[in-house]
Amino acid sequence: MEEPLIHSAATVAAPIRGTDYLDLVQQFAIVAARRIASLGVIIVLLIALGTLLGVLSRWLFNRPITGYDEIVEMGIAAAVAATFPFCAASRGNLAIDILTQRLGPRRAARCELFGAFALLLFYGLLAWQLGVYARDLNAQGQTTIYLAWPIAPFIWIVAVFLGLAAAAQAIVCTVDVRNMARAAAHHPTAALSVALPVIGAFVVALAITGILAYAVSALAPVAQDSPRTLAVLLFLVMWGLSLALVPVAAAMGLVGVAGAVLLTGFGPALNVLATTASGYLTDVDLSVLPLFLIMGSFATRAGLSSDIYELAHVLLSHLRGGLALATIGGCAGFGALTGSSVATAATVGNVALPEMRARGYSPGLATGCVAAGGTLGQLVPPSTPIILYAILTEQSIGQLFIAAVIPATITVALYMATIMIYVRLVPDAAPAAHQRAKLDEIIRAIRKAWGVLLLFALIIGGLYGGIFTVNEAAAVGAMGTFLFALFRGKLGGGALWNVMAEVTRTTAMIYLLIFGAVTFSFFAGISGLPDLLGLVATGLHLGPLGVIAVILFIYVFLGCIMDSFSVMVITIPIVTPLITNMGYDLIWWGIINVFVIETGLITPPFGMNVFILKGIQGGDVPMWTAFRGVLPFVAADVVMLAMLVLFPVLSLWLPSTMVH
C-alpha cells in the first residue's frame, strides 16, 4: 500500500507560504526521523544478509559464525529503537477510534490531545528508565559472552532514540495545542477546548509521578490488602483511556506502571519497565518481526500479489465462480507474504474487485469473498499476529507457524466450498464458467509466480524440516522479496523510502504495544487478576468448553469493533493464564485466538475488512449488500472455530511431527 505523502527535505528547507515555524519544525522532524528510521531498516537488511551467510557457512563448512547471535541482539536493539522517532513524528501509534464519530470533532480533538500527552509521558518514562539501566550496566561492566562487547553503549543508543521519540511526540503535542487554539480563537467560549485536555494530561502525569510518589505510603497498604480489586479498577481505567483515544501502548503501559508501583514500590516497578523493554529489544527470536514485516512490504512493492492471483485465476477460472475462488487462493498466497489481514484485503481487493464487477459478479459475492479471504492474511504463516501472540505468551514461533498450516488449509477449502454453494443457490451471483485454461497458459502463470511459490516452500518447508530456524527463515523471506523488488525495478523514484517508512511505522508500533502489554501483564500477574477470572469461570459452572465458548463470543465482538493488535495485547495478559489453568495447550489456543479475532473482522455490523472493501468499491454498494455477501463466510468461520475447539489435533498434530 502506498504511504501518505510526506514532505521531502528540500520542501522543508524552503519557506512555505501560510506555514508558520512550528509547521516547519514538524516537517523537519518527520523527514529527519524518517532518515534515522530508514537507517534502522538497512541495519535489519544487513542482519538478514549476515544470517544467510551464516547459514551458508554452516552448510558448506560446518562452521557457524561465532557470536553472531550477539551481533543480532545488539544490532536489532539499535535498529528497532531507530524506528521510534518516526513513528511518533508521523502519528503511527495505534489508538482505538470506534467512538470518534460519536464524540464529534471537538471532543475527539480534545481526546486525541490528551492521548498525545499520555504517549509523551510513556516515551519519556521509557527513555529515562533505559538511560538509568544503561548507567547501571556500565557501572557493572556487563559484556556479551562470546564477543565481550560492552552492553551499556547499545542500551544508551536505545535510550537516546526513545528520547528523540519523546521530543518528536512533544512537537506533535505542541502542534495539536496550536491547532486547537486557532480553532478556539473563532469561538471564544470554546477556549476550554484547549485548556481542559492539556490540564487533564498534566494532572494524569502528576498523579502517576508526583502525587503517587508522596501518597504511595498511604495508598500502597490499601492496594496490597485488595490487589484484585485494584486490578479490576485499573483494568477498567485502562479500557476507558483506550476508548478515549489514548494510544493503546500508553494506556496499558502507564496503568501497568501505576498499579505495579502501588503493589511493589517505585524501584521494582520501574526496573521491570526498563529490563522488560531492553530484554525484548535484544531478543534474537523477536528479530523475526521486523524481518517478516520487511518481507511483506517488499512483496507488495514487487507485485508478487498479482502474480499469485493470476496463477489462482488460471487454475480455477473454468469453474463457476472461478474468479471468486481465485480470489480466495490469491488471498491465501498473498497472506503468506504479508501476514496482514487489512493489507491482504486492500491489495487483493484492488486487483480482484474491478475484475469481478466487470465480469458480472454480484457486489455481495465480490465483497464477501475478498473480505473473508483477507482474514487469511493473518492465519496463513508467516503471520504477524501469530508472532505477537508467541512473544506475549512465550511460545515457539516456529511451532505456531506450523500449527497454523492445517487450519489455514481447511479454512481455504471451506471458503471455496462456500462460494460453490453460493453460486449454485444464487446463479445470478456469478457468470457461467470459462473454458479451462490451456497448458501453456498454466505454465506461463507458474513461471511468473515461481518467486512466491519458492519463498513459501523455503520458509514453511525449511521450518518444518528443521533446516532453518525461524530467524533464518525470516532472513530468507526478507532478502528474497527485497531482491525480487530490486531486480523488477520496483524500488526507484522514492519507492524504497516509502517501503522503509511503512516498515518502520509498523515495527515501532508493535514493539511499543509489546512494552505496554508486558508492563500491564506484570501488574496483572502480581495482582492476582488471572486467578480472580479463574474463580469467576469456575463459579459459572459452565465447564471448560462453556468457558471457551463465552471467551470466543467476547473475542468475536471485540474483533468486529477493534484492530486485532489492540484486542490481542489487551486480552492476552488476562485470558492466557485462565486458558493454562484449565489445562489447555497454548499452541492450540494461539491458533484459535488469531482465528476468532479475524472472524470478528468480517462480522456485522462493524467488520473492519468489509468497510475497507466498501471504500474500494465506492458508494454504489450499499452497506447491507456488503454484509449480506460476507455472512456465508462468517458461517464458514463458525464451522471452522467449532472444528478447532472440538478437534485440537488439527492444530497440534503437525507441530508434533516437526524435526527439531
- For 572-628, write each residue's pLDDT tens digit: 888 888 888 888 999 999 999 988 888 887 877 666 667 666 665 555 666 677 778
Q: Tell whether the model's pLDDT for residue 10 goes beyond 60.
A: no
**In this predicted model, what pLDDT tens digit does every residue of 551-564 receive, in sequence order?**
888 888 877 767 67
Q: How much is the pLDDT for 622?
A: 67
Q: Tell whether the model's pLDDT for residue 319 goes beyond 80.
A: no
**Buried-state track 54-93, b at ≥16 Cβ within 10 A, e below 16:** bbeeeeeeeeeeeebbbbbbbbbbbbbbbbbbbbbbbbbb
Return the HEC string of 622-658.
CHHHHHHHHHHHHHHHHHHHHHHHHCCHHHHHHHHCC
What's the one-letter identity of residue 279? G
Lowest mean pLDDT among 193-202, 358-367, 461-470: 193-202
- Mean pLDDT calculated for residue range 528-557: 79
Beta carbons within 10 angstroms of residue 160's beta carbon: 18
Q: Tell whether the model's pLDDT for residue 357 goes beyond 80.
A: no
Distance of alpha carbon 335 from alpha carbon 397, whole angstroms: 17
Q: Tell whether the model's pLDDT for residue 12 goes beyond 90.
A: no
In the 8-state DSSP scheme, what is residue 459? Answer: I
Contact 129, 274 (CB under 8 A): yes
Q: Using N-to-C axis directions, what is the helix angle for 288-302 and 495-527, rounded to 10°?
A: 150
DSSP-assigned beta bridge partners for residue 143:
150
**Buried-state track 630-660, b at ≥16 Cβ within 10 A, e below 16:** bebbbebbeebbeebbeebebbbebbeeeee
Q: Tell whether the model's pLDDT for residue 215 goes beyond 60.
A: no
Q: How much is the pLDDT for 613?
A: 64
Using CA atoms of 376, 378, 382, 385 in order, give the dihedral in degrees to the nearest 10. -170
- Mean pLDDT calculated for residue range 346-373: 77
Q: How much is the pLDDT for 159?
A: 93
User: For residue 118, which of 261, 256, 274 has the smallest C-alpha distance?
Assistant: 256
Cell of 596: 476468532
- Given pLDDT bands bounded at 50, 70 and 90, which one contains residue 301? confident
Q: How much is the pLDDT for 588?
A: 94
DSSP-assigned beta bridge partners for residue 150:
143
More confident residue, 73 or 537: 73
- Mean pLDDT calculated for residue range 84-108: 81
Task: Find how far residue 303's CA is from the centre of its chain.
Answer: 22
Residue 451: which H helix or E strand, with range? helix 450-456
Contact 378, 292 (CB under 8 A): no
**Phi, psi for residue 276 in degrees, rounded to 5:** -65, -50
